[in-house]
Amino acid sequence: MDKIIGRNLKILREAGRFTQDQVADFLKITRSAYSNYELGEREMPIEVLENAADLFGVELDVLALTGLFAGRIGGQFIVFVAEKSAHFIPCQNAR
């Protein structure tokens, strides 16, 4: 599960055009700790996960979904979840 969450954190961070340093500062953790979360080498505490979801403008459960893709369409940051049906989740906090 940590690998899935880490992958999704990286997808959302890059699509939102954030650096690891910026995300770490927002979460009040070190860049090294954040990097370990993205790599799935450490389990992220629930409080930090909640803050990350807030930063990226998604619900907490989105961080644990498989088949997550993020990007920009027409200048708007979106999250696409590839499951049996497609879901587009508009994100509010990305730049």
Q: What is the pTM of this model?
A: 0.77
Q: Which helix (H) or strand (E) holds 22?
A: helix 20-27
Q: Is the dihedral of CA 11, 1, 50, 27 positive or negative?
A: negative
Q: What is the pLDDT of residues 40-71, one digit of tens each?
A: 999 999 999 999 999 988 888 888 887 777 77
When pLDDT is averaged across residues 18-30 and rounded to a whole number, the result is 97
pLDDT at 86 over 50: no
pLDDT band at residue 93 using 50, 70 and 90 as cut-offs: low
Q: In what order do the strands lie in the sheet with 86-90?
A: 68-73, 76-82, 86-90
pLDDT band at residue 87 using 50, 70 and 90 as cut-offs: very low
